Amino acid sequence: MATGAASWLPLSAGERSVAIEVLVHGPLSRTDLSRRLSLSAGSLTRLTKPLIESGLLVEAPEAGGGVETRQGRPSRPLDVVAGSRSFIGFKITEDMVYGVVTTLRSEVVARRARPLASRDPAEVVEVLGETADELARAHPGLAGVGIGVGGLVRDRAVVAESPFLGWRDVPLAALVEERTGLPVVVENDVAALVESETWFGAGRGLDRFVVLTIGAGIGYGLVLGGRRVPCAQEDRGFGRHWILDPNGPLTPDGARGSAVSLLTIPSIRYQVQAATGRELTYEEILALAADGEPMAARVVEEAARALGVLVAQIANFVMPQKILLAGEGVGLMGVGGATVDATVRAHRHPLAAPVTLETKVSDFHDWARGAAVPAIQVLVLGTGQA
């Protein structure tokens, strides 16, 4: 359980940089590692020796017997054993708990979902504990738990504020640790997703990278120099005051014409229901829009234009190498993708480089996978960020 992870700690700054490089980009030869980290051969040997002895790194087999060294001995690449440690990732929504088990490299090996009868913290903790117990029986030797929550998280332990759950100052990490006996890391769900995509996903190896999520809310994460930029606003309802169309719709959540009022699933559903009296799911609205139903098509077209403006504004100011669009609302691109692309071009300089916009069709288990990554970072490598 937690003992194996703890045996790797504490890592020095140099050891940690080597471990992260191999974890994220491995297997890597010692020559590649030296070049990537600007280390001499002697320094690299000094840093890798304790990592190999502790079992965090191994010499991986390589086709052809390895690379010949100057002494004539083959040098095998260094790698981590991805399955040597497992982690649980949880995503808590208003009415469900989604859980996954991942390897050390964030590969999902199991999924679970349980309904929440109540948002009372004690009952949510019990559902988390029951799910963790079930996963632990099938995957013994779990190293820790990561939990993603929509809202403001303090010290990766306390849910200071979560509008979705109606929580304030809930010591979630301590409560779940007491229930499961495992170390727990709690993080804002968008921040966790950004960390996950930076280490193991669409942003791996990029210097400037943006994650934009649409779903129940709007999420935004910025990576500069390969590191996520912490920002208080990312935990406090990004998009409620980012006005994309001052003449846009007024909805119960978000200012008139804001990103939240135009793009979130609840707002799109609200607009259609207010105009037609019909309570439709997001998927039904997209299908009707694709079939040309006038009201659904108008709302979806307006949302697509708003998304194009938002993407263009981000690209103009941040100049990212890639923008990842994720979340349960990305089905909008399937219907309004052409409008999004045209709007992005209209709001960019004619000679500007095209925006690399990658769309990731994701569900709540993907958010749970993202939540496991801060646990990997903290519990294995003793660091909050790459």
Structure-token pair, residue 237:
């309802």
CA 225, 230, 233, 236: dihedral to nearest 10 degrees? 130
pLDDT, tens only, 170-187: 999 999 999 999 999 999
pLDDT, tens only, 292-338: 999 999 999 999 999 999 999 999 999 999 999 999 999 999 999 99
Residue 32 CA to residue 26 CA, distance in Å, equals 10
Beta carbons within 8 Å of 89's beta carbon, 6+ residues apart:
99, 100, 101, 102, 145, 146, 147, 148, 368, 369, 370, 371, 372, 373, 375
Residue 54 CA to residue 27 CA, distance in Å, equals 18
How confident is the model at residue 383, as a pLDDT?
61
Per-residue confidence band for 367, with pLDDT thresholds at 50, 70 and 90: very high
CATH superfamily ID and name for 83-195+366-381: ATPase, nucleotide binding domain (3.30.420.40)
Average pLDDT for 103-117: 95
| Protein fold of 206-359 | Nucleotidyltransferase; domain 5 (3.30.420)
Q: Does the pLDDT value for residue 77 go beyond 70?
A: yes
Helix axes 294-318, 265-276, angle to 10 degrees: 150
pLDDT, tens only, 212-262: 999 988 999 999 999 999 876 555 567 888 999 999 999 998 899 999 999
SS3 133: helix
Q: What is the mean pLDDT of the chain?
A: 90
How confident is the model at residue 384, as a pLDDT?
53
pLDDT, tens only, 184-220: 999 999 999 999 999 999 999 999 999 999 998 899 9
* 333, 359 Cβ separation under 8 angstroms: yes
Fold match between domain 83-195+366-381 and domain 206-359: yes
Per-residue confidence band for 11, with pLDDT thresholds at 50, 70 and 90: confident
The CATH architecture assigned to 2-80 reads Orthogonal Bundle (1.10)
Average pLDDT for 150-176: 94
Residue 117 CA to residue 183 CA, distance in Å, equals 26
Contacts within 8 Å (CB) and 24+ apart, 333-339: 333/359, 334/286, 334/290, 335/286, 335/289, 335/290, 335/300, 335/304, 336/289, 336/300, 336/301, 336/303, 336/304, 336/307, 337/304, 339/301, 339/304, 339/305, 339/308
Domain residue limits, the chain: 2-80, 83-195+366-381, 206-359
DSSP string of 161-223, one letter each residue: EETTTTEEEE-HHHHHHHHHSS-EEEEEHHHHHHHHHHHHSTTTT-SEEEEEEESSSEEEEEE
How confident is the model at residue 232, as a pLDDT?
63
